[in-house]
Structure 1
Amino acid sequence: MEIRSNPAGQYFDEMHFLRQRVHDLELQLDELKKKSGSIRDNFREFGHSSEQFPPTKNETKSGIQFAREALEAALRTSEEKFSKIFENAPFMMHSIDTDGILRSVNTKWISTMGFEREEVLGEPIQKFMTPESRVMHSRRLPEFWDLLAVSDVEYSYVKKDGTVMDAVLDAVVMDDPVWGKTSLSFMRDITDKKKAQEALTESELRYRQLFEISPVAMIVHKGPHVLFANSAASSLLQLEDSKEMENKNIYSFLDPRQQDLCTQLMEGAERGEKLDDFRLIKLIARDGRTMYVEWAAVEILYQGQPIELSMVRDRTEVRLAEEKLIAGLHEKEVLLREIHHRVKNNLQIMSSLLRLQSRFASNIVLRTALRDMEQRLESMAWLHDTLYRSHDLTRIDFAKYINDMVYRLMGGHGVTARVRVEKEMDRVELEIDTAIPCGLIANELVSNCFRHAFPENRRGVVHIALRKTSPFSFDLSVCDNGIGLPAGFDIEETHSFGFRLVQSLMKQLNGSMVVNGSRGAAFHMSFPEMRLGKN
């Protein structure tokens, strides 16, 4: 009988062979008593050479006596070899009789358990076991004598210092010349291994519990083949049990148009790409309902093999809310554009009425006032038209607006090449609450330049500058090299409707203005942006 499942198998084989040889030699001795003839022939028949047992000098010895002496010598040799192997084996070894009494223990057993040899021999093996192992041993021992051999049986033993040692035991039944039928056992200390295994099992259980109770749906798969999933995944797909996903193709749960994206995620996981973001993917629930989920995959090791772990978050309600919000915003954008368009049309109608009225005004002062008001309305109408055509309905490219305004005013005032307009404009976008008063100010000051700075067809230059001094602060300058302002001009005391309007609008903007009339007219304004909800 051979035990090959552990490193002590060769010891068991050898010792079992030695015990068997002793038994065979005893049988040979009985057989020789019945036979006659050459003793050496008998030995040769049973596999012993004449050189192994040379003839003695006493030729008068009977053949049976000669055979007995030879067999006893062979028996002693086998016993000595057996004892040597048993005692010096690097494994814990012991033998018990059919009553479970320890009959022999080797040096390794003694040194590991911490007892003296006389403290254990003649004692029941169960005396050195934990209570649980005693129960198991009592149940298994009767069966063992019928089985003749056992392998990898686990017991727990108590050392002399009280510590518990977990061991795995292999045993084989043998015939002992003194004790009769005995069990020769080999033990391997697996205490550290078992503790490590228990720690690993506890860790796996803990992570398995975290996996199961996670509110995020998790699917473990190898390629498209699903291995297992957690409860959140089955709930997401409206399945009764997560086991319904096992051994299924993961693509069967996807919208066909999303399979390529899912494949990219899995291939990225296989390449070891880091999990840095989620991708929006469509899933198909059991009832055929399309769901929007965020999906990410990462490669992990499971049972020593690389697999993929996919994490899925339901975003259906968020996605539908976003779509509803986008639709609502689009609807409001359409309405707002329509409002700007209608305001622009109404302002243009008012401007046209003022223009028509100015034609019938006989008083030159009234006609001028009506035309000035017409230009102001045109300026506001143009701003609303710019917003109507803009991609952003709340902000306007103010530099572009001033450029367009200047060209319209030049045409309206009949300004030709004799007046050159220079512009230095930063790219500035203003909210509508700032753009409207600022546009009216620019309209007033530029119109004033074209109307009064260059009388009698004089040539000159108008300089317009727009600067962004901070993220929410701006400077606007309108200067000319014309005839300048009247002596003693004070904008605070002027009765001009246009300048009073400029002052009122500057207060509305919470801005400041510096006027210089020494060399032409120069107006320098600084103002913050009137941010919606902040001012």
Structure 2
Amino acid sequence: MNTQKPHTILVLDDDPVVRSTMAAFLEDEGYVVLEADSGESGLEVFRCAHPDAILLDWRLPGMSGGEVLSRMCEEAPTTPVIIVSGTDRMNDVVDALKRGAWDFLTKPLREFSELSASIQRCLERARLLREEGLRRENLEQQVRKRTEALEEANAMLRRQIAERIEFEKALADSEERFRQLVENVREVFFVRDMNTGAFLYVSPAYAEVWGRSCASLYSDPEGLFSTVHAEDQEKFVQAWDLLQKAHKPFDVEHRIVRPDNTLRWIRGRAFPVEDDRGVPYRIVGIADDITNRKTSEEKIRSSLKEKETLLKEVHHRVKNNLQLVSSLLNLQASYIRTPEDRELFLESQNRIHSMTLVHEELYRSDDLACVEFSDYLPKLTQKLISVFSMGKDIRLVTDIQPIFFPVDTAIPCGLIVNELFSNALKHAFKGRDEGIVCLSVKRDQDNIKIIVRDNGIGFPLDYEPDAARTLGMQLVHSLVDQLGAFLDIEVDTGTTFTITFHAPNRCTLVS
């Protein structure tokens, strides 16, 4: 008979039909369901009822789903929050995962089995995280207690050695007390003679962990090394040699092979014990069975790997979709007869290409949160030169620091450079066969400076930046405002655009 308490699920959605439909399904699955129709009421239920998992709509009236998600993750980081929303915007998906969402499902759900599977995965992961936290806390407490006991025994031993003639008797008394202390614990304790290599004491837990009798270890001390897994033999032997020859503490995690060929993970720690002359003569150690901890860590690593793979796939699909849009614009442009209209399509293609490059860089990168801007810009500018140079000899001079930008900074910066660079190629060198465009990106303390400079004909003297009517310049001003940046335009022997903004928190220089 299963007496396990059913899990409680909070369904937070402003659509009563969707809310009641999911509630009915979950109740049929055996869950206890709580409902809320707004962020404020959902937080109140969350804090009072402490549900095991939350199904959260991303778009809510009043308090947004993102704000609700952030508060829930801050207050209960091990409680799964699954986004179930009708939004298909990639920014919303990425934002939700960054804020701490455990999964993201898109409404309408094609199969409720997908929802059930997501809940089960998240509940299992939450259980493992909580168990791992408790296990680590208990292990640390046990280690502290055992260490204190060993230190107390060692101090007691030193105090008792007043005369050399009483040394053996005092040691025997100490070993007896030590034996009584450790024989009822799960960790394996041992005492080994440093000169002969013989084991003077091995706690009974050795038989349970190693699957071999303590007598076998007493009779064959070197047999301990043969139980170590072949792949861990080298590091085990090296650490043990350092303990015996250089008297350095031994602390190694390794695998052992039991007689039935099953594997166990062991963390072994040992240190030398000195006699009254300060000469090491014995080794005292402890070995913990950490198999369960290693298994849990592997499950967590696997879960994180799945999440990284999912994000890479998201960027890959976004890149493909943007390339499809660019191809459709190119196809449509072939039917346009007016050069001015065809140029508008070409400009739109280049803007899409600048965004496509960001997602392509993320897909190829090991860091899914940031784009290496110094690698991204040369690809973008070379594309623009090939499109807009029109047979002119345009030389590009770059001074770009290797900087990583987060996605929400890289895209607007890429679009700004796209507009300013293409504008220079199209208009700055009219009546000339050659020209120079300089591109600089640098970090100055807490600020980022992007400079696009050309040696062309420059803007007219009566040009007013705020009154610009072209779509490109309007887009530049809009993106500058989005970044919270300042735009400075200088017209001398050419035109210089300087965009200055505060470096984002996740902006880093490549070492």
Same-fold call, TM > 0.5? yes
Deviation for aligned residue 1:358: 2.1
Of 438, 449, 452, the residue aligned with 1:463 is: 438
2:246 is paired with a residue of what secondary structure? coil
Corresponding position of 1:479: 453
Distance in structure 1 (CA, Å) of the matches to 2:401 and 2:500: 14
Which residue of 1 is the match for residue 399 of structure 2?
424
Tell me if structure 2 keeps the 8 A contact 1:515–1:523: yes
Q: Does the alignment pair 1:258 with 2:229?
A: no
Matches for 1:426-441 after TM superposition, within 5 Å: 426-441=401-416
Does structure 2 retain, via aligned residues, the 8 Å contact 1:509–1:529?
A: no
- 1:156 is aligned to none
Partner of 1:309: 284
Distance apart, 1:273 and its partner CA: 4.0
Pair 1:300 & 2:273 matched: yes
- CA distance 1:330–1:364, shift in 2 (3 Å): same
Match of 1:517, SS state, is strand
SS in 1 for 2:344: helix
Aligned with 1:395 (options 352, 367, 370): 370
Specify which of 300, 320, 326 is matched with residue 351 of structure 1.
Answer: 326
1:226 has 2:199 as partner: yes
Deviations 1:139-165 (A, max 9, x none): xxxxxxxxxxxxxxxxxxxxxxxxxxx
- Letter of the 2:202 partner, please give it: A
1:278 to 251, 274, 290: 251
> Partners of 2:390 and 2:287 in 1: how far apart?
67
Structure 1 segment 478-517 matched on structure 2, within 5 A: 478-517=452-491
Correspondences of 1:95-134 after superposition (within 5 Å): none
Rounded to whole Å, the distance in 2 between the matches of 1:469 and 1:205 is 68
Superposed displacement of residue 340, structure 1: 2.3
Tell me by how many angstroms 1:453 deviates: 0.9
Mapping 1:1-80, distance limit 5 Å: none
TM-score by length of 1: 0.55
Deviations 1:167-213 (A, max 9, x none): xxxxxxxxxxxxxxxxxxxxxxxxx8699879877766666666667
- Partner Cα distance (2:292, 2:165) in 1: 48
Distance 1:242 1:473 in 2: 66
Q: Deviations over 1:487-518 (max 9, x none)?
A: 24333332222122222222332333222224
TM-score under structure 2 normalisation?
A: 0.58
Moved more, 206-215 or 479-488: 206-215
Q: What pairs with 1:313-462 in structure 2 (closer than 5 Å)?
A: 313-414=288-389, 416=391, 418-462=393-437
Query: Which stretch of structure 1 is more off in the superposition, 500-509 or 371-380?
Result: 500-509
Q: Deviations over 1:22-80 (max 9, x none)?
A: xxxxxxxxxxxxxxxxxxxxxxxxxxxxxxxxxxxxxxxxxxxxxxxxxxxxxxxxxxx
Distance 1:415 1:406 in 2: 15
Alpha-carbon distance change, 279 to 469 in structure 1, aligned in 2, over 3 angstroms: farther
Distance 1:252 1:298 in 2: 21
Aligned residues: 339
Query: Helix, strand or coil for the counterpart of 1:343?
Result: helix
Letter in 2 for 1:350: V
1:305 & 1:390 partners in 2: Cα distance?
A: 52
Aligned counterparts of 1:460 and 1:305: Cα–Cα separation in 2: 78
Aligned-partner Cα distance in 1 for 2:303–2:171? 54
Task: Kindly report which structure 2 residues correspond to 1:86-101, keeping only aligned pairs within 5 A, or say none.
Answer: none
CA shift for structure 1 position 335 = 3.2
Q: 1:232 to 1:272 in 2, by over 3 A?
A: farther
> Cα 1:213–1:438, aligned 2, differ >3 Å: closer, same or farther?
farther
Q: Is the Cα–Cα contact under 8 Å of residues 431 and 529 in structure 1 kept in the other structure? A: no
Aligned mates of 2:495, 2:309 — CA distance in 1: 43
Structure 2 residue matching 1:262: 3-state secondary structure: helix
Aligned partner of 1:505: which letter? L
Report the CA distance shift for 1:490/1:262 in structure 2 as closer, same or farther (over 3 A): same
CA drift of 1:530 comes to 4.2
Partner of 2:488: helix, strand, or coil? strand
Distance in 2 (CA, whole Å) between partners of 1:291 and 1:334 is 30
- 1 CA distance for matches of 2:427 and 2:288? 69
Q: Which amino acid aligns with 1:503?
A: H
In 1, Cα distance between equivalents of 2:269 and 2:253: 9
Quick one: distance in 2 between partners of 1:207 and 1:272?
26
Whole-Å separation in 2 of the counterparts to 1:302 and 1:228: 18
Gaps of 5+ in 2: 1-161
User: For the structure 1 residues 288 and 443, does the alpha-carbon distance in structure 2 shift closer, same or farther, using more than 3 Å as the test?
Assistant: same
Instruction: Report how far residue 527 of structure 1 moved.
Output: 2.7
What CA RMSD, in Å, does the superposition of the two structures yield over aligned residues?
3.5
Q: Against the structure 1 CA distance between its residues 193 and 264, is the aligned structure 2 distance closer, same or farther, given a 3 Å change threshold? A: closer
